[in-house]
Chain A
Amino acid sequence: TNDPAGSREQILGMLSDWVNYYLQPSHNDKALLGYLTQPVFQNILKEEESSIRFYRICLEVTIDSCVPVEGTNGKTLSYGALDAFTKLAVLLVKFAENNNIKTGILVKILNIAIKTLARDHDSKGAAKFDQRPYYRIFSNLITELSLHDPTINENTMLQFLTAFSNALIVTSPLKIPGFAFAWLQLVSDRIFMPKLLHTKSQKMWPYFQRLIVELLKFLEPFLRNAELNEPIRLLYRGTLRVLLILLHDFPEFLCNFHFSFCDVIPASCIQMRNLILSAFPRNMRLPDPFTPNLKVDLLPEINHPPRIMSNYANALNAVPGFKQDLENYLRTRQPLSFLPELRNRLLLPGGAVVNGTRYNVPLINSLVLFVGTMAVARVQSMGSFRIAPNATDIFQQLAVELDTEGRYLFLNAIANQLRYPNSDTHYFSCILLFLFQEAQSEAVQEQITRVLLERIIVNRPHPWGLLITFIELIKNQRFNFWSHSFTRCAPEIERLFDSVARSCM
């Protein structure tokens, strides 16, 4: 409404001429570019305010022009005008005189598209909002500007990819749920996703990790309660497909960020978590976990720490004083009060219940990995497993002191480190078996077994570290596994153990 008088009409006239020119099949990019050099375009686009008004009005009008094509009962929309507008945007971005201007135009257009999307989503509501025109805009821009083009240098391409990533972070399902399906399709676009994950020095990996975390956070409450109605089931299967592509084509990405993803996958999503933990670097040959008498501690890979790009100490820093006390204890085994108080510090403040639990799950995950990483470093520097008693104190204390719920979360945090052959997998495998062996009560041993077993009985894939730990547990006489009554507590459990033991043997 505050547009200057006549400006809207002028812009609509320019847009109409442009669309007609664009739709002539003989007008290729070169001719289209020539058309945009007309003074009328140059004048309106060189001013900040008038250019924003131009893009906004063009976007609104071309989005409204996406109406169902006759005879397709709403299945197909006509995108002619919208494609014309995005082509105009692409040409302006591509042929702007320098990289900053290129990126500036792209960011401006994306911002306007995002604002229009959010306003449309909130005003039209579930019944009338249509995600497809916005999908088309982002898809056209991403496809045309992510494609290899020697006139776009690598640095500019990174700026484009950053702009697209930020736009998708801002329009994630947590913010605009009615755009969720289009959003996941854009994130996993066959040109965009590899562009982000193929970048040299993995510069764009943190952005893609953020996008996957946004998706998993959105799904978390629905998956935790196993409320898989139609839309959630579709999103869940779609997420599995995307994760499978990452597992197959970009396993190192899943390896490096496993901690971030496990932090937001509910404990009940065992297969999805296994999928992520099953990733291993492409240049690694995994020894068959079922090899009889496989000597894991002789594998060279177990001396190398895994690459972890997640900031796994974040949750420790979020609790005032916790990290300092923990580091102090690991260094000096002081103060003695640290251990007995530890259990209560893992509870959410004020008895809150979040995501169905009283415990601060990210803090438990962070504590386990942090203590384990410090212990591995110490073991490697001193040459023996026994040389990290402070760490084992903490793990033993938690195994004994935590209640069933807390211990389940704690044991899960350990099991989340059982992955491909590396020093963490080896350490946490030993720790889990050590806790089994040293347990004072059979309840702890049963729970350790349960945490492993529930990860093994789900459909594939299974992480290598999980398999070798479970096989060791049931085969090595030292653990006297089969003597425990819980292996025979019910006929179906006995059958289950037999079948798993047979498949493992």
Chain B
Amino acid sequence: LGTDLTTLGLNLNSPDTLYSTFGSPWADTPAKREPEFYIPMCYYMQ
């Protein structure tokens, strides 16, 4: 009869996307949201 899919550690009612805190297919809990950012090379001082 399948699995209660609400017990897989994903907040299926979340208004946000789930992938941004998806740690791994084996994780029972969401991962910390890693900020995605890009630092241009010119921001680095020698």
- Which residues of A are at the interface with B, using a C-beta cutoff of 8 A? 28-31, 33, 147-151, 181, 184-185, 188, 190-191, 193-194, 234, 237-242, 244-245, 248-249, 270-272, 274-275, 457-461
1/0 per residue, CB under 8 A from A, across B9-46: the answer is: 11010100111111111100001001010111100101
Contact of A29 among B12, B21, B24, B44 (CB under 8 A): B44
A238 to B8, CA, bound (A): 9
A173, chain B: closest CB distance, angstroms: 13
Q: Are the CB atoms of B5 and A30 closer together than 8 Å?
A: no
A186, chain B: closest CB distance, angstroms: 10
Q: Report chain B residues within 8 Å CB of A191.
A: 36
A240 to B23, CA, bound (A): 14
A38 to B44, CA, bound (A): 20
**Range for the number of chain B residues in contact with chain A:** 20 to 34
A sample of 22 cross-chain residue pairs with beta-carbon separation below 8 angstroms, ordered by A number, consists of A28-B44, A30-B46, A31-B44, A147-B36, A148-B36, A148-B38, A150-B38, A151-B40, A184-B25, A185-B26, A188-B25, A190-B22, A194-B17, A194-B20, A241-B9, A244-B12, A244-B18, A245-B19, A248-B18, A249-B18, A271-B2, A459-B3
A263 to B4, CA, bound (A): 24
B33, chain A: closest CB distance, angstroms: 9
Q: Are the CB atoms of B46 and A241 closer together than 8 Å?
A: no
Highest count of chain A CB atoms <10 Å: which of B2, B12, B24: B2
A23 to B25, CA, bound (A): 31
Q: Are the CB atoms of A193 and B19 closer together than 8 Å?
A: yes
A249 to B15, CA, bound (A): 10
Q: Are the CB atoms of A458 and B24 closer together than 8 Å?
A: no
Contact of B14 among A31, A147, A234, A248 (CB under 8 A): A248
A204, chain B: closest CB distance, angstroms: 15
Contact of B20 among A188, A190, A272 (CB under 8 A): A190
**The 7 residue pairs across chains A and B that have the minimum distance between CB atoms:** A238-B25, A271-B2, A30-B44, A459-B2, A458-B2, A28-B44, A249-B17
A28 to B43, CA, bound (A): 11
Q: Are the CB atoms of A30 and B41 closer together than 8 Å?
A: yes
Contact of B22 among A30, A188, A272 (CB under 8 A): A188
Q: Report chain A residues within 8 Å CB of B21.
A: 190
Q: Report chain A residues within 8 Å CB of B19.
A: 188, 190, 193-194, 245, 249
Contact of B8 among A33, A149, A185, A244 (CB under 8 A): A244
Q: A249-B17, A459-B3, A461-B5 are in contact. Are A244 and B25 (CB under 8 A)?
A: no
Contact of A459 among B1, B36, B46 (CB under 8 A): B1
